[in-house]
Amino acid sequence: MLTAVLDAPGLRDAPSDDDRVLVDEARGGSIAAFEALYRRHVGRVHGVVSRLVGGVGTRAEDLTQEAFVRAWQALPGFRSDSAFGTWLHRLAVNTALMDMRSRRVRAHDEGDDEALDRIGQDDSAGRSTALGMDLQRAVASLPPRARAVLVLYDVEGWTHEEIAAELGMAIGSSKAQLHRARMLLRERLGDSA
């Protein structure tokens, strides 16, 4: 259920011949080709970044832009072993996680009421249900590490091993954070999750 509410339809990455052509042109310096890649992938990148950082308005937008700047800079090293969208998505997740780590010491990350008021915007398909808004708010209100593990495991499909390596924690800690996040969600959604 969590994935269905948080993930807009059609966001799973499928290899695209169009992406390959655009990537090759962008590697050659074509800004227009990179702009086309940006337009094609910005929704998915913004979605994952927003979920990871708790839907915090301009912060999610800034990190989305930062992910694309990093993609432009790293594009010459992209080997095409995976689809461009998969590579870009992983780069965006890493950008958001690095930002979360750098902000970990700030107390406002544990619950920013202003940020919660900005959550619940329409998804990429133009839909916004009450349950979706409640779930988005509940996920956004989770402590940052618990939110990151929940999003990476339940929404993005990462393994506990991948999460532990990326977040610098033990596999058991990843499992404990996932359990904690799910329990907090149940509490916040009134046992309807």
CATH 1.10.1740.10 fits 16-128, yes or no: yes
Tokens of 55: 């839907």
CATH 3.40.50.300 fits 142-193, yes or no: no
Per residue in 157-180, pLDDT (tens digit) is: 889 998 998 888 999 999 999 999
Sequence-separated (6 or more) residues with CB below 8 Å from residue 8: 43, 47, 123, 124, 125
Whole-model pTM over 0.75: no
Asked whether 59 and 27 are in contact (CB, 8 A), the reply is no
User: What are the boundaries of each domain within the chain?
Assistant: 16-128, 142-193
Rounded average pLDDT over 47-65: 87
**Alpha-carbon distances, residue 3 vs 69, 115, 139, 177 (angstroms):** 28, 22, 12, 18
pLDDT: is 164 or 107 the higher one? Answer: 164
Per residue in 139-158, pLDDT (tens digit) is: 888 888 899 999 999 888 88
Asked whether 150 and 178 are in contact (CB, 8 A), the reply is yes
Q: What is the pLDDT of residue 54?
A: 81
